[in-house]
Structure 1
Amino acid sequence: MLRPTFFNITLLFFLLQSAWAAAQTKPAGSKAPGNKPWLKEYKEYREYDDIYVVKKVSIPCRSYETFITDKNGRKLTPAYRDIGDFAEGLAEFVPMELDAKGHGLHGFIDKRGKIVIEPKYTSTDRFRDGKTWVIYPSGKHYGLSYIDLTGKEIYRIPIHHYANHYLIKDSDVDFLCNQDTKEDVLWWIQRPMDFFTLNFNFSRFIEKEIKASKLIYHFNYKGKYGIIDKNMILKVPVALDDIDPEYKYSGQGMERVQYGDKFGYISPFTGDLIVPFEYTDTRKPTNGLFWVKKNGKWGCIDKTGKLRIQHLYDEATGFTAENRSAVAINGKFGHIDKSGKVRTPLKYDFASYYNHGISMIRIDDKYGYMDTTGRFITKIIYDEALPFDHPITTVERSWLRFELSLDGKETFAGFSYKLNAVFIIIAVLIFIWLNNLLYQKMLKGRLARKAKK
């Protein structure tokens, strides 16, 4: 899998698009074409082949009407508050009637003035590659979806999982003077230019980079992460506190992401949220299972997010090739398999993970080793021990050190490190005693020679 690309966004490019749209609008009046004298009655117009989008402005920013006309000035639509730019055969429009909160409702019409997509959205944008985004109230939040040219929903962000972001109560719905189709929903960080939006439009350079990516594209804006796919569909809004592109905690078809103090998982291929933000801790997956912590207890989910092992355990290790995980409840350790069945009773003071078919067990400060059947291959006699990370491990008993093989056979390897330390201390003490004895003898000799003189 290719490592995802990162980009820190510094501008919201919908502002640039608004300026671009304004540049396409031509003032009417005295500059109207000589063969179109009827255009003089309008404040501004835009020409599209054989039709015109024209606007009357009675009171700037307060009272205005917009129409589609044919080339002879015949109106093809009733008066609307605004009609946006045509793209892929459709133009955004806002009717004169506002919603209950005084906001414009946004839909789409074709060049004949036919309503193709009913005006029901709080904000939207022109079509690109057969789709556009739409924003609308969704419970306590504003939601965002992508629709096609018929109005059919292509993708809906599961906005309810981002409980602390994009709340309606925290938003402002703003638009440019006389330009209701340039409306957007803003969440202010600091006025007048520091804010979040739910939708993100990228520069052409970054858009090209996103489309060229083989998988999903992570990006950062003001310390928060969002995820968009190569089809320019925002899969995760800019709300994540952390992601895991290095796969320290991810793998096997899911990438861990963080929202607030909780963790969930997305698909690293599509960006879809697979597992909601329910878990306070996670472990790197092993053998198709993910240990996740909830309410202080560990349980297991699979790569679809389905709970496979109940949240019962205070401690848990990854599943090894032996189909075993070491688990603990109330300080007692044992082993379970991937089905959750207890394979080693939870009665030991410690039990390590299995490796090479062997687990290390501790009882009353003594260690031993058992195989996957529960048979001990050694007695519980060792003062110090290590798991079988290799086919040979090291153990200590009775101040002696041994190399232990997988069949439980010992090979003497030397004295215990503790005993070596004792020997070193004794040697140092003897050295000090002998050095002091030699010094006393030399001192007596000097005194005897002085006495003779």
Structure 2
Amino acid sequence: MQSAWAPAQITPAGNKAWLKEYNEYREYDDIYVVKKVSIPCRSYETFITDKSGRKLTPAYRDIGDFAEGVAEFVPLELNAEGQGLHGFIDKRGKIVIEPKYTSTDRFRDGKTWVIYPSGKHYGLSYIDLTGKELYRIPIHHYSKDYLIKDSDIDFLCNHDTKEDVLWWIARPTDFHILNFNFSRFIEKEIKAAKFIYHFNYKGKFGIIDKNMMLKVPVALDDIDPEYKYSGQGMERVQYGDKYGYISPFTGDLIVPFEYTDTRKPTNGLFWVKKNGKWGCIDKTGKLHIQHLYDEATGFTAENRSAVAINGKFGHIDKSGKVRTPLKYDFASYYNHGISMIRIDDKYGYMDTTGHFITEIIYDEALPFDNLTTTVERSWLRFELSLDGKEKFAGFSYKLNAVFIIIGVLIFVWLNNLFYQRVLKRRLVKKTTK
């Protein structure tokens, strides 16, 4: 874990007489940060002084290292939970950011993170040097993580600004931290990334942007950087047993974790499953088609999706309008303008107008994935073209199987007959002898 430490000294009292009353001091240009420890780890006071020892601040529990002109500080007064609150002061001792945070860190590149209570959870934001919030992680979407009741605030003896908020998974060794700082090598890699950076910590995923702001805490169970289920400017991510979507460019959560299943987008729409039913959202996460369907296929170039309710299939277009009545036992996706339909275990083919290009007469059939497809009827196999014309292609696979079975049976019969004759000859020869 790396931070932008300002150059300072931390030693016992030095050669200035007035420094001898303090246990520690750090020197920054024309000021000192000094600490007096009355009872180690229990009672101590910290001040900013000028070169002559004049105090520029009241007594604080701790003052951290200066970076970018400010330093983290913790007042003597604790909050209602007995915890120190954290803010920032400048070198003159002026409070720049009020002490109201549970935890924070030194400023780097004009920003730092701050942790604060958020209901039963801890939240994390980024602020600038004036205290203005730059980004707030939507912690309410991560309801199983970073619970205050499962967390401890830990800090070094006599140094309240060297603190961590620890979220315990299994005490006493397994825990997460809400704030993440990275090594210089990884930081360089993150900043060189084109957009966001995915990282893994103890089997969980987090997402940080190239400005070193954590956009998703380390809580995700799955991500999709290879775009197997993602597209249209949204990346699918998983939290627990639910899916949502983030921006692969900024890392912002676009769609909350509401869906139990999803499919890769087609023609700008995402099929997503909620409460056991499929519906469609667009690339902004807005619900485009209501969650009505038990089954659904992607939208093809014909602006059609095959859908089903209560075992009956038909087609809808991207507006959600029914274009083929949901009355068939099965309906395939459209391809090359043709869909395969099944009624009472027989297959036929229709175009986008609902006109059947064949009768519903086939025992076996396949969709038009190519310019021709294969169908079977009356134990015969045909190659079917887009205009519904048949070309004989051989016997049915089932009939071929029957021929094979008959051939095997004949072989077994002949083999048995031959064996019986051989056995009979041997018996005759033995009797003759």
Distance 2:293 2:171 in 1: 49
How far the C-alpha of 1:95 sits from its partner, in A, is: 1.2
1:216 to 196, 202, 205: 196
Give the corresponding residue for 1:265. Answer: 245
Structure 1 447/72 Cα, relative in aligned 2: closer, same or farther at 3 Å? closer
Q: Please, which moves more after superposition, 47-56 or 155-164?
A: 47-56
| Contact 2:345–2:363 (8 Å) recurs in 1 | yes
Q: Counterpart of 1:306?
A: 286
Partner Cα separation in structure 2 for residue 444 and residue 26 of structure 1: 110
Q: How does 1:53-452 map to 2 (within 5 A)?
A: 53-437=33-417
Q: Which amino acid aligns with 1:362?
A: R
The alpha carbon displacement at 1:434 in A equals: 4.0
Deviation of residue 194 (structure 1)? 3.1
Question: Could you tell me how far apart the structure 2 residues matched to 1:449 and 1:260 are?
Answer: 81
Distance 1:407 1:57, change over 3 A: same
Q: Distance in 2 between matches of 1:243 and 1:78?
A: 49
Look up the match of 2:12. Answer: 28
User: In the aligned structure 2, how far is the partner of 1:229 from the partner of 1:145?
Assistant: 14
Q: Report the alpha carbon displacement of residue 28 of structure 1 after superposing the two structures with TM.
A: 3.0
Change (3 A) 1:386 1:37: same
The structural deviation recorded for 1:433 is 3.7
Deviation at 1:40, TM superposition (A): 1.3
Q: CA deviation at 1:436?
A: 4.5
Aligned-partner Cα distance in 1 for 2:220–2:105 = 24
Structure 2: how far apart are the matches of 1:202 and 1:330?
52
Change (3 A) 1:442 1:43: closer
How far 1:189 sits from its partner (Å)?
A: 3.2
User: Equivalent pairs: percent with the same residue?
Assistant: 88
Q: Give TM-score, length-normalised by structure 2.
A: 0.95
Give the direction of change, closer, same or farther, for the CA distance of 1:54–1:362 in structure 2 (3 Å limit): same
The Cα of 1:437 is off from its aligned counterpart by: 4.7
In structure 2, distance between residues paired with 1:51 and 1:433: 108
Between the aligned partners of 2:9 and 2:147, the Cα distance in structure 1 is: 34
Is there any run of 5+ residues in structure 2 with no aligned partner, and where?
none
Question: Distance between the aligned counterparts of 2:275 and 2:230, measured in 1?
Answer: 21
Amino acid at match of 1:151: G
CA distance in 1, matches of 2:382, 2:336: 19
Instruction: Flag the 1:450–1:42 CA change in 2: closer, same or farther, 3 A.
Output: closer
Query: Unpaired segments of 5 or more residues in structure 1?
Result: 1-12
| Number of aligned positions between the proteins | 433
Task: Tell me, in whole angstroms, the C-alpha distance in 1 between the residues paired with 2:286 and 2:95.
Answer: 43
Shift of 1:441: 5.9
**In structure 1, C-alpha distance between the alignment counterparts of 2:431 and 2:111, rounded to whole Å:** 113
Instruction: Give distance in 2, aligned partners of 1:204 and 1:166.
Output: 26
Question: 1 CA distance for matches of 2:344 and 2:172?
Answer: 67
Q: CA distance change for structure 1 residues 366 and 58 in 2, over 3 Å: closer, same or farther?
A: same
Query: CA 1:442–1:95 in 2, change beyond 3 Å: closer, same or farther?
Result: closer
Q: Post-superposition shift, 1:309?
A: 0.5
1:24 to partner: Cα distance = 5.0
In structure 2, relative to structure 1, the CA distance for the partners of 1:37 and 1:443 (3 Å cut) is: closer
Matched letter for residue 95 of structure 2: I
| Whole-angstrom CA distance in 1 between matches of 2:419 and 2:31 | 115
CA distance in structure 1 between the aligned counterparts of 2:227 and 2:212, rounded to whole angstroms: 24
Distance in 2 between the 1:160 and 1:40 partners? 50
CA contact (8 A) 2:8 2:28 kept: no
Tell me how far 1:284 sits from its aligned partner: 1.3
Native 8 Å contact 2:280 2:289 kept in 1: yes
Q: Residue 97 of structure 1: SS of its match in structure 2?
A: coil
Match of 1:6 in 2: none
The one-letter amino acid paired with 1:376 is: F
Query: What TM-score, normalized to structure 1?
Result: 0.91
User: Aligned partners of 1:245 and 1:212: how far apart in 2?
Assistant: 17
Q: Hey, what's the Cα distance between the residues in 2 that align with 1:426 and 1:70?
A: 106
Contact 2:126 2:134 survives alignment (8 Å): yes
Residues 429 and 52 of structure 1: is their aligned pair in 2 closer, same or farther, counting only changes over 3 Å? same
